[in-house]
């Protein structure tokens, strides 16, 4: 309301640095000393501006998630208005939900890939206050998208849809968080993304686009996969890639 001088600078600088360091070393692995040193502010500044380390982490996320949530809800609003009461197509819903996020990765002013990676990693942090924070932040959006998916896939049991939504969130989080996990686990054979650490702006933006192109078909394929035939998981489903029996219903 009435901050006099470069208060804004300090706050934002702390948030920027914390965003990056939390992403690189995790919440517990990042001390306030390291943050304040890198941000070139005094050690006491974090407690003055945010109150505590936990509150700092929440502030880092609130700065980005407010916009993301609005964007996601609005994307759904637009689609539903266009459809005029008819159910949406699954691909539209996924594009609205995941596409909106992945486009953040191309937008440096919204945190870019740094924030996306941080988000992916933090979603799996065990600390209690983090869980409840995300539960509150995400509740409304997840609920809207869940309902949209229920309507889009009326023949698929709701429990199954929720599971698959969860799988999709996992695939995305992990893919985003793990540009280096990927290097570790798969042995760095992804050609063009080989540029070690993020080449900041250009490389990150390209990575976000490529990731989106790869991820969306995968998610859609998983979401629309035929349901489990209850018992034996390995014998019945058709195999050859050309013509699988794609029947999500019962």
CB of 138 to its own copies, least distance (A): 6
Cα–Cα distance, 68 to 114 (Å, whole number): 15
CA distances from 220 to 77, 141, 151 (A): 21, 19, 16
Contact string 24-53 vs its own copies (x = CB under 8 A) = xxx-xx------------------------
Distance, first Cα to last Cα, the chain: 56
Are the beta carbons of 169 and 119 closer than 8 angstroms?
A: no
Q: Is 229 exposed, middle or buried (0-12, 13-18, 19+ CB in 10 A)?
A: exposed
Host H or E run for residue 196: none
CB of 243 to its own copies, least distance (A): 6
Closest to its own copies by CB, 42 vs 52, is 52
Q: Does 78 bind its own copies (CB under 8 A)?
A: no
Q: Is the dihedral of CA 94, 205, 69, 115 positive or negative?
A: positive
Report the site for its own copies in 92-151 (rule: CB under 8 A).
92, 95, 99, 120-121, 123-127, 131-132, 134-135, 138-139, 142-143, 146
Report the site for DNA in 3-62 (rule: CB under 7 A).
3-7, 9-10, 30-34, 41-49, 51-54
CB of 46 to its own copies, least distance (A): 19
Query: With CB under 7 A, what is the number of residues at the site for DNA?
Result: 26
Binding segment (CB under 8 A) for its own copies, from list 5-13, 38-46, 68-76, 222-230: 222-230
CB of 37 to DNA, least distance (A): 10
Residues in the chain: 250
């Amino acid at each position: 309301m009435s901050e006099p001088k470069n208060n804004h600078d300090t706050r934002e600088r702390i948030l920027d640095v914390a965003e990056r360091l939390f992403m690189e070393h995790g919440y517990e692995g990042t001390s306030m000393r390291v943050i304040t040193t890198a941000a070139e502010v005094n050690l006491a500044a974090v407690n003055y501006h945010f109150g505590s380390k936990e509150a700092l982490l929440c502030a880092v996320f609130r700065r980005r998630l407010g916009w993301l949530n609005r964007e996601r809800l609005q994307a759904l609003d637009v689609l539903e208005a266009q459809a005029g009461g008819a159910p949406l197509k699954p691909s539209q819903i996924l594009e609205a939900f995941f596409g909106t996020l992945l486009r953040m990765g191309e937008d440096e002013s919204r945190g870019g890939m740094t924030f996306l990676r941080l988000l992916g990693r933090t979603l799996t942090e065990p600390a209690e206050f983090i869980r409840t924070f995300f539960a509150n932040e995400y509740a409304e959006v997840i609920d809207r998208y869940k309902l949209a998916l229920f309507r889009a896939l009326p023949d698929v049991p709701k429990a199954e849809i929720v599971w698959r939504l969860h799988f999709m969130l996992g695939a995305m989080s992990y893919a985003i968080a793990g540009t280096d996990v990927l290097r570790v686990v798969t042995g760095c054979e992804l050609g063009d993304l080989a540029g070690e650490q993020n080449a900041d702006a250009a490389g990150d933006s390209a990575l976000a686009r490529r990731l989106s192109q790869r991820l969306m078909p995968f998610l859609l394929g998983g979401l629309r996969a035929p349901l489990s035939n209850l018992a034996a998981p390995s014998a019945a489903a058709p195999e050859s890639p050309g013509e699988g029996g794609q029947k999500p219903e019962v």
